[in-house]
């Protein structure tokens, strides 16, 4: 079954405290989910499952290990011995190369797509230090979408507006978040497994910028509203998840130990029929849904 994974970096489930939690200060139609309240029913019959990201290891959960766990189903922090921030290190690269969800999709004879466009410059400058999402894609042997695809309306950038690319000197058409979200939906309709990565939430969490947080929440709501109304939820499962908390507590510039929301829409809800998840359990459920 077609599956779309929206990976939103650094959003956790915190208390409803408008002083620190942007999801409390600026109501989100989809993501106002709070640790001190019952779990809400989500629009379009979605469910939310609180998800532990600590992998049984001490310290603050970090991106490289969290994303590797989400994208492989392996306990990345335990394999390394601690949480790892930033880009995947050699051990994490090995896990991604061995067990990436895209590799598992490929083994099922299905097609995977990463909706985020990647530039030649990205590979040139990064060398081995590419993101977990990019390495996960390459491990499956699927082609990445290029800047040409982005310009032609067949790929998106992580911010859904192409503002970041323009700041970096790429000539990229400005897009409204809704236009980019429609492209994500178009890609999801044509593939078995589609991944989209949104990272501004983690950036705003680190910069503790409550004003920018309002715009980010509006963008996430537009993304969800658009994909959930563009896709046939009888035939498509949409999952949103994260790698660790951060954005939901702007009092601190670090990540948090809060659980993260795993939100599920569509038939795959039955596979995710649990009260609580661990981040390293998500990939196996996704593969079950994709194989259905």
| Nearer of residues 12 and 112 to Zn ion, judged by Cβ | 12
| Nearer of residues 105 and 279 to Zn ion, judged by Cβ | 279
Nearest to 71 by CA among 283, 289, 285: 283
For residue 193, what are the contacts with CB-CB under 8 A and spacing of at least 6? Answer: 2, 3, 4, 5, 101, 102, 105, 110, 111, 112, 113, 286, 290
Backbone angles phi, psi at 109, to 5 degrees: 75, 20
Ranked by CB distance to Zn ion, the top (closest) residue is 202
For residue 107, what are the contacts with CB-CB under 8 A and spacing of at least 6? Answer: none
| Shortest CB 75 distance to Zn ion, Å | 20
Residue 283, both tokens: 């990939």
| Nearer of residues 202 and 248 to Zn ion, judged by Cβ | 202
| Nearer of residues 201 and 226 to Zn ion, judged by Cβ | 201
Residue 103, both tokens: 């590799």
| Nearer of residues 202 and 221 to Zn ion, judged by Cβ | 202
| Nearer of residues 62 and 104 to Zn ion, judged by Cβ | 62
| Shortest CB 254 distance to Zn ion, Å | 8
| Shortest CB 276 distance to Zn ion, Å | 23
| Shortest CB 3 distance to Zn ion, Å | 26
Q: Which residues form the interface with Zn ion (CB under 5 A)? A: 202
Partnered with residue 234 across adjacent β-strands are none
Residue 181, both tokens: 């979200």
Sign of the Cα pseudo-torsion (231, 43, 240, 150, in order) = positive
Residue 98, both tokens: 């061995």
Nearest to 277 by CA among 36, 4, 13: 13
| Shortest CB 244 distance to Zn ion, Å | 7
| Shortest CB 199 distance to Zn ion, Å | 9
| Shortest CB 288 distance to Zn ion, Å | 29
| Nearer of residues 202 and 280 to Zn ion, judged by Cβ | 202
| Nearer of residues 149 and 197 to Zn ion, judged by Cβ | 197
245 alpha carbon, distance to own chain's centre? 13
For residue 259, what are the contacts with CB-CB under 8 A and spacing of at least 6? Answer: 12, 13, 35, 50, 51, 52, 53, 245, 276
Please tell me the distance from the alpha carbon of residue 25 to that of residue 210, in angstroms, as a whole number: 9
Sign of the Cα pseudo-torsion (143, 172, 8, 193, in order) = negative
| Shortest CB 255 distance to Zn ion, Å | 6
């Amino acid at each position: 079954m077609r599956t779309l994974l929206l990976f939103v970096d650094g959003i956790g489930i915190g208390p409803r405290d408008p002083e620190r939690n942007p999801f409390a200060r600026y109501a989100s139609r989809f993501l106002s989910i709070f640790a001190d309240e019952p779990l809400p029913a989500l629009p379009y019959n979605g469910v939310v499952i609180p998800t532990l990201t600590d992998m049984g290891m001490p310290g603050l959960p970090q991106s490289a290990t969290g994303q590797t766990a989400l994208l492989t189903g392996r306990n990345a922090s335990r394999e390394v011995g601690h949480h790892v921030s930033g880009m995947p290190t050699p051990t994490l690269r090995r896990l991604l190369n061995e067990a990436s969800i895209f590799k598992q999709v490929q083994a099922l004879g299905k097609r995977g797509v990463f909706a985020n466009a990647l530039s030649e410059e990205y590979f040139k400058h990064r060398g081995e230090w590419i993101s977990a999402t990019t390495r996960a894609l390459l491990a499956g042997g699927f082609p990445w979408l290029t800047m040409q695809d982005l310009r032609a309306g067949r790929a998106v950038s992580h911010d859904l507006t192409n503002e970041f690319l323009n700041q970096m000197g790429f000539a990229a058409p400005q897009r409204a978040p809704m236009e980019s979200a429609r492209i994500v939906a178009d890609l999801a309709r044509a593939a078995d497994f589609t991944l989209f990565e949104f990272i501004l939430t983690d950036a705003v969490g680190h910069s503790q910028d409550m004003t920018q947080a309002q715009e980010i929440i509006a963008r996430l709501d537009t993304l969800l509203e658009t994909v959930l109304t563009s896709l046939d939820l009888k035939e498509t499962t949409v999952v949103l998840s994260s790698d660790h908390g951060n954005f939901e507590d702007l009092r601190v510039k670090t990540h948090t130990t809060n659980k993260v929301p795993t939100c599920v829409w569509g038939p795959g809800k039955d596979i995710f029929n649990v009260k609580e998840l661990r981040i390293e359990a998500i990939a196996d459920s996704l593969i079950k849904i994709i194989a259905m």
